[in-house]
Structure 1
């Protein structure tokens, strides 16, 4: 039996990033179809990073009822709303500007307000959300996921806020907003995407039991980690 402190992981290893993207996009399509059939809508949390962006481009071709999709973000940089480096801007350019998703059902983090104000506002939004069917995450070379960095508060406690203001980020910009580990662990499906040899050490440390931020995400049904061979430490 899985204990509260354990993390159930399923590793999906592909020869290259292109094959990973194709299979991940197909899996997202299946989960969306199931949610639409069961609930009539689909609630998805997006991530930044190069590998999710490639997946989002592939999702343009999905045969689905886009009007029933509801989109959120796991983290965001505190930058002006149309800044190219924002996770939301990247997702719009890669995907959302090309499909008929309803604007009222797309919920970027208001990080332009500053970390504290954005965290409070987004926590209220998540409290009102019906559910989160699927969460997308990436993995940094230092083991961070979303904007949960080493030597920062990850929000793991059962009473932790759903959304955290982040300051002194080791990657620019220094101010960010992030869903907490507690919030990221509440979805029945969590997909993490990892590509490139630069991620090998983080994967090795994670598998060895090091306490990296990615290890704090503990959904009851486990986390699916999608990797290419370049990221696998062997």
Structure 2
């Protein structure tokens, strides 16, 4: 674990398997604390292969599933059965294996189109802060579906959800939580694995205004060694 002046804490693990195991333990710890303190755990999930490995382990580590509430940071505007949908990955990997009440699983209805889905999903979000937000880091520094060169909705008065019509990656239509709504959380974890993430993470450390860095000013960043841009610092 390594702290840097930006206010972030960087967790650097030797390989993706170790990263997934320790991330799973951290998610389960956050859930236990939230349920014990506030009676529920409101989690925003991320798509992608790095969190997927942790989701597959969660049935072994989690508990009190009736107290979990699941939300998405973003979704692609594709049919529900499309393999690229975050919701389908989540159902197959994790949610179908645990008894979280269906009314507490809030998938983005992105098949309806970005604008209608963003409008509807805003009403599904809680008025209070999330307990934990999970986010990825793209090779261009994007997070959720907040891409460089776009409005990320960082102002508190911005909508909680954003309809994306021209994403830099296919498909062009997506729905994303806005930057300020993602930051309205008690904890935030960023996840990145693989050497393809090194340039974006190096830019983050240099202080460049990437979407991920702008949203994650005080966050825990979970990496494998391949994603770290340089020789990992000595343990502290």
Q: Classify the TM-score, shorter chain.
A: over 0.9
Distance 1:204 1:231 in 2: 10
In the TM superposition, what is the alpha-carbon distance from 1:83 to its structure 2 partner?
A: 1.5
TM-score (norm 1): 0.93
Q: How many residues align?
A: 226
Secondary structure of the corresponding residue to residue 18 of structure 2: helix
What pairs with 1:1-234 in structure 2 (closer than 5 Å)?
Answer: 8-126=7-125, 128-218=126-216, 222-234=218-230
Per mean C-alpha deviation after superposition, the further-off stretch among 190-199 and 129-138 is 129-138
Listed as ranges, the gaps of 5+ residues in structure 1 are: 1-5
SS at match of 1:135: strand
CA contact (8 A) 2:188 2:216 kept: no
Alpha-carbon distance in 2 for matches of 1:25, 1:34: 14
Contact 2:189 2:219 in 1 (8 A): yes
TM-score of the two chains, using structure 2 as the length reference: 0.92
For 2:233, the equivalent position in structure 1 comes to none
In structure 2, how many angstroms separate the alpha carbons of the residues matched to 1:107 and 1:7?
Answer: 32
What stretches of structure 1 move > 3 A for 4+ residues in a row?
Answer: 128-131
**What SS does structure 1 have at the residue aligned with 2:130?**
coil
Q: Where in structure 2 are there 5+ consecutive unaligned residues?
A: 231-236
CA distance in 2, matches of 1:213, 1:21: 24
Does the CA-based 8 Å contact 1:166-1:175 persist in structure 2? yes
